[in-house]
Amino acid sequence: MSPSIGDMEPAEAESAYFNEYPPPKALPKHEALARAFVERHVEANRRVVLVTSGGTTVPLEAQTVRFIDNFSAGTRGATSAEYFLEQGYAVIFLHRQYSLLPYSRHYSHSTNCFLDFMDEAAPTSDSENPDHGRIVVRSEYQDQMRDVLRKYRYAKQNNLLLLLPFTTVSEYMFELRSLAKLMRPLGSNALFYLAAAVSDFFIPRSRMAEHKIQSSEIPANFSDDEAVGSNDIYTGENAPEPPKAGKKLVINLDPVPKFLHRLVDGWAPEGSMVVSFKLETDPSLLVYKAKTALQRYSHHLVIGNLLSTRKWEVVFITPDPPHERWIRVPKARRSKSISGVEDQVGLAEIKKGRDGSGPESE
Ligand code: PAZ
């Protein structure tokens, strides 16, 4: 039996994983865009950050109808990208397709549709007048929207923001590897800020069902060998964990190789900075897991957060003292953003937290 990817050394796991999947169709186009973006900012001696944002999917079928998703709206990534731009960085925003984007996030939240910000101007007496029935931004939103619009325009006109989408975990991996290698000419001007929620498990392409899994086609005396379309997906009465009654879908997932190793030790430019995030739900595990990640991958910073409090508090785990530092947005400053979506701990808080002038930290 061949070893599973989870049991291999990082370099071996890398080639095994990338051999499983064809590269995403959009990769050559994304690479060309990223190459030109990096060249432009190397010339300008500008710092470039790769922000990853949103959750990855794990398809259950090659022609995907169903998939497993990872939690993330993209708020952290999109918000942080805006702060990085404010700090003079150029940003490559590698994001889950249709998740929140820098600047437009203020108007795209489902509870605050952009149409709520608009109004029809007061009618003029002349219906031929081009201003008659004109659509305008409501007066109470003018100032905030002008501010967001100016920043957005500035980033766009100066080629400071490159938006690259992904959907599946394998697309994310291919994109991350390519982008990190393309960023090599930046050297210590490169920063990796890995806020995306990346699946820890996947179904190898070689063991994936091609077509939509059919519950109606489950044989009466189902055995492992007869699994529909795949030996990773078991449905029926004789599945490995037999159901008490009725049909069950049992999914057998492999661990995704830990690519942070490869990013830090191979793909990323020498001298670059790598920041990863760790999400947990159990408070008693968060610091331990974040510290373990930092020790294991020897990068620069792990930012830990809990699902329930991630918008107000994060913990910085660093190789140097104080090793563990909490940064909290005080209750009074948990402000509503323009869209009514409460803002969260972002780069500004992180930066202010460092010099002590920002949100409460301990
Ligand atoms: O996108 P969002 O603001 O809803 O959530 C952000 C987050 C919790 C996904 C991010 O802060 C994070 O922790 N990312 C890493 C997740 C992980 O441990 O894989």
Report the SS3 class of residue 12: helix
The chain-wide mean pLDDT, for the chain, equals: 86
Nearest to 81 by CA among 95, 99, 102: 102
DSSP secondary structure string for all residues of 21-64: SPPPTTHHHHHHHHHHHHHHHHHTT--EEEEEESBPEEESBSS-
* Structural tokens at position 32: 């060309």
State if residue 305 touches ligand 1 by the CB under 6 angstroms criterion.
Answer: yes
Which residue would you say has higher pLDDT here, 234 or 293? 293
pTM of the model: 0.87
For residue 170, the model assigns a pLDDT of 96
Q: How far is CA 351 from CA 87, 278, 347, 355, in A?
A: 10, 19, 6, 7
Nearest to 209 by CA among 59, 69, 70: 59
Contact at 8 Å (CB) between 92 and 48?
A: yes
The conformation of residue 232, written as its DSSP 8-state character, comes to S
162 shares a domain with 213: no
Report the SS3 class of residue 214: coil
220 shares a domain with 178: no
Instruction: Tell whether the model's pLDDT for residue 305 goes beyond 70.
Output: yes
Reduced DSSP (H G I as helix, E B as strand, rest coil) percent helix, strand, coil of the chain, to 5: 35, 20, 40
Nearest to 84 by CA among 211, 190, 210: 190
For residue 148, the model assigns a pLDDT of 97
State if residue 197 touches ligand 1 by the CB under 6 angstroms criterion.
Answer: yes
- The reply to whether 360 falls in a domain is no
For ligand 1, atom 1: residue with the closest CA = 74
Pocket-testing residue among 94, 310, 344, ligand 1, by greatest number of atoms within 8 A of Cβ: 310
Sorting pLDDT into bands at 50, 70 and 90, what band is 2?
low
Polymer length of the chain = 362
Whole-complex ipTM: 0.99
* Structural tokens at position 356: 């002590």
Instruction: Tell whether the model's pLDDT for residue 72 goes beyond 70.
Output: yes
pLDDT in tens, 12-54: 888 889 998 889 999 999 999 999 999 999 999 999 999 999 9
129 shares a domain with 26: yes
Nearest to 350 by CA among 318, 324, 314: 314
220 shares a domain with 94: no
pLDDT in tens, 182-221: 999 999 999 999 999 999 999 998 889 999 998 776 544 4
For ligand 1, atom 10: residue with the closest CA = 195
235 shares a domain with 127: no
* Structural tokens at position 240: 């490995």
220 shares a domain with 166: no
Q: Ligand 1 centroid to 100 CA: how many Å?
A: 13
Domain containing residue 231: 209-252
Query: Per-residue pLDDT averaged across 255-272, rounded?
Result: 94
- Kindly state the percentage of the chain with pLDDT values over 90: 67
192 shares a domain with 223: no
Q: What CATH number does residue 270 fall under?
A: 3.40.50.10300
Query: Per-residue pLDDT averaged across 250-275, rounded?
Result: 94
Residues in Cβ contact with 109 at an 8 Å cutoff, skipping those fewer than 6 apart: 100, 339, 340, 341
* Structural tokens at position 29: 């186009």
- How many whole angstroms separate alpha carbon 73 and alpha carbon 100? 6
State if residue 170 touches ligand 1 by the CB under 6 angstroms criterion.
Answer: no
263 shares a domain with 243: no
Q: Which residue bears the tokens 């090599």? A: 184
Element (H, E) at 69: strand 67-69
245 shares a domain with 278: no
Ligand 1 atom nearest 277 alpha carbon? 15
